[in-house]
Structure 1
């Protein structure tokens, strides 16, 4: 499953897939860098949706590698 992010920067990003799809992890398609699923307070407020962390910390915002076409590949359990 792949998602294209088309925002200039993001921190923790909602994947808009139901948690029943059981996402396990994500990777930036362009670089292969592994992304973790968020477990912080923001994600806890919406348990039905998984969030992926696009940087080192969940509470910070980072510029995307490509602000027009960043693709996150999600691996399901």
Structure 2
């Protein structure tokens, strides 16, 4: 993939992240997950490697636990 294509994907991801958080009032963690999934698909990461790649980015050893804890705390604090 060319450098200009990667830069365009990066710019579009920042714009989408801002729109999701500011305009759509999405929770920032959920917005980051959505944008990271879309960037992974756009850059050509194989579908079976996307979740492991995101977990590595979240902190390696605690990546799979962190996402469950954060999503649970969002649901618990919804009231």
In our comparison, the structure showing a higher alpha carbon Rg is 2
Shorter-chain TM range is: under 0.3
TM-score, normalising length: structure 1: 0.27
Structure having the higher helix fraction is 2
Structure having the higher strand fraction is 1
TM-score, normalising length: structure 2: 0.26
Bigger RCO (CA 8 Å, 6+ sep): 1
